[in-house]
Amino acid sequence: MWSSRNGCLLIALLAASAASAPTLAQNDARFHLKPGASGKLCLECHVDFEEVVKQAAVHTPVKNGQCASCHSPHAAAHGKLLAEPADAICATCHGTMIPEGAASTHQAVAEGHCVSCHDPHASPNKANLIQAGNELCLGCHADLKSSLAAATHRHAPVDRDCLACHDPHASKDARSLLRKAPPSLCLDCHKPESPGFAQAHMKYPVAKSDCTSCHDPHGSSNQGILWAAVHEPVRNRMCSQCHDDPAAGPPALKRAGADLCRGCHNDLMLEIGSKNRVHWPVLDQKACANCHEPHAAKTPRLLSAPQRQLCGGCHQDSIARQDRSVTKHPPVEDGECTSCHLPHASDATFLFASADDKEVCGTCHDWSGHSAHPIGEAAVDQRNPNLRLGCVSCHRSHGTPNLHFAHGDVKGELCMQCHTQFTR
């Protein structure tokens, strides 16, 4: 049913739409400009723009003299007299840079920081980019720049153009802004039916596998641009240690779960079996593959991800506790979980290397110089007769709302838990 309210709404929407992308004629009318004054009028003061607009790539509104498309000539609520917030103004015209349901989006695009890459007026580079080629990308992706500098084998397209594989704005279907998900993207250049490809992969049918599970797509110092950490059988091209012969069909594993890994890592398995407490993922169906990559990995010890991410995948609460904590514990903050915890098994709770927390904490902290407070076997915890005082009597290593991740306010509350006679 049509109503005057609907009518008002439609008019408002049309007005808003017109205001968001004014045409040249609309601008002239809006600001009562003399005929032909648009653009030229601004250049009377902004004379330096005469040189700017001579560059190879000029933003269309600038070229058309539509300065008022982006700037309010009299006053504005935003810096540089922009008509909209700096992180939103580009989207008034370029609203479709991120496909709906995109699998990955460039952070700069998501946050509206278009000028991180583009000059809004003009540039010598195509698409108004502030720098040409890969230098622009590597300006932010400094880690990649340094790893590329160190790599002895570089993936050829990396030197040519990052955009060979990545969409700079967003990718609808693939992670990491990839134009297509691997292996489809990789197979555009690498042909699995070629003899060289088959030989490099020991004739195993890998054409449907994710190439990046073994290869660093940018480059590495390992032959075949394998990731920095390579499983020895892969390095030695001994796939048959774990897989059935490729001629037998799909590359099936010779054994399931930890039984497969036991073939080489038997000593470790025996050690795990000798402990009272085992990290349960070691024993489940995926076993070692819960945390380790079987072929190659970016992270040392073939870990699937850096520890904070990997361990935090299951122990979200422990990471969240640290994030909320007033004082940060560096091993947790930096993702060095194995500084305190043994990842496979232990006789101690929390999979500590020792049941004595002074020993665990003592690897970094000199508790004997910490305070004169009694600690150790002779010091009974006043709160609980079965406990002896140790580091965790006062501290919670993953964090608390108190300074020094103490179990209470260190100015009183913590001490009063035991020294109740001093409570006022």
Is 304 one of the binding residues for another protein (CB under 8 A)?
A: no
**Residue 36: DSSP 8-state:** T
CB of 166 to another protein, least distance (A): 31
Is 270 one of the binding residues for another protein (CB under 8 A)?
A: no
User: What does 91-128 look like in DSSP terms, one character per residue?
Assistant: GGT-TTSS-TT-SEE-HHHHTT-GGGTB-SSEESSGGG
Residue from 17, 152, 384, 423 in contact with another protein (CB under 8 A): 384
Residue from 56, 256, 270, 364 in contact with another protein (CB under 8 A): 256
Alpha helices in 166-222 (DSSP H): 184-187, 195-200
Residue from 233, 246, 257, 362 in contact with another protein (CB under 8 A): 257
| Strands 122-123 vs 170-171: parallel, antiparallel or unpaired | unpaired
List own/partner pairs for 30-37 with CB under 8 A and 24 or more apart: 30/68, 31/68, 31/73
In the structure encoding, which two tokens stand for residue 13, read together? 């929407």
Which span sits near another protein by CB under 8 A: 119-127, 214-222, 263-271, 314-322?
Answer: 314-322
In the structure encoding, which two tokens stand for residue 95, read together? 């609203």
Taking the C-alpha atoms of residue 306 and residue 300, their distance in angstroms, rounded to an integer, is 9
Residue from 161, 188, 271, 317 in contact with another protein (CB under 8 A): 317
Residue from 62, 70, 226, 258 in contact with another protein (CB under 8 A): 258
Is 385 one of the binding residues for another protein (CB under 8 A)?
A: yes
Do residues 198 and 192 lie in contact, with contact meaning Cβ atoms separated by under 8 Å? yes
**Closest CA relative to residue 382, chosen from 359, 351, 414, 406:** 414
CB of 48 to another protein, least distance (A): 54
Taking the C-alpha atoms of residue 270 and residue 84, their distance in angstroms, rounded to an integer, is 66
CB of 284 to another protein, least distance (A): 4
Residue from 98, 207, 283, 305 in contact with another protein (CB under 8 A): 283
Residue from 55, 304, 318, 338 in contact with another protein (CB under 8 A): 318
Is 344 one of the binding residues for another protein (CB under 8 A)?
A: no
The CA distances from residue 173 to 99, 192, 356, in Å, are 10, 23, 50
CB of 351 to another protein, least distance (A): 13
In the structure encoding, which two tokens stand for residue 56, read together? 């190879």
Residue from 159, 210, 245, 259 in contact with another protein (CB under 8 A): 259
CA 206 to chain centroid: 27
- CA angle (324 as vertex; 322, 328 as ends), nearest 5: 45
Is 381 one of the binding residues for another protein (CB under 8 A)?
A: yes
Is 159 one of the binding residues for another protein (CB under 8 A)?
A: no
User: Which is nearer to another protein, 41 or 283 (by Cβ)?
Assistant: 283
Is 9 one of the binding residues for another protein (CB under 8 A)?
A: no
Is 277 one of the binding residues for another protein (CB under 8 A)?
A: yes
In the structure encoding, which two tokens stand for residue 383, read together? 């709160």
CB of 390 to another protein, least distance (A): 11
Burial of 270 (0-12, 13-18, 19+ CB in 10 A): exposed
Taking the C-alpha atoms of residue 259 and residue 261, their distance in angstroms, rounded to an integer, is 6
Residue from 80, 301, 383, 419 in contact with another protein (CB under 8 A): 383
Residue from 284, 323, 334, 413 in contact with another protein (CB under 8 A): 284
**Residue 34: DSSP 8-state:** P
Which span sits near another protein by CB under 8 A: 72-80, 152-160, 279-287, 331-339?
Answer: 279-287
Residue from 321, 329, 358, 395 in contact with another protein (CB under 8 A): 321
Is 421 one of the binding residues for another protein (CB under 8 A)?
A: no
- Site size toward another protein, by CB under 8 A: 27
User: Which is nearer to another protein, 69 or 322 (by Cβ)?
Assistant: 322
User: Which is nearer to another protein, 101 or 385 (by Cβ)?
Assistant: 385
Is 409 one of the binding residues for another protein (CB under 8 A)?
A: no
Region of 371 please: left (phi>0), alpha (psi -120 to 50) or beta.
beta
- Interacting residues toward another protein by CB under 8 A: 256-259, 273, 275-278, 280-281, 283-285, 314-315, 317-318, 321, 349, 381, 383-387, 417
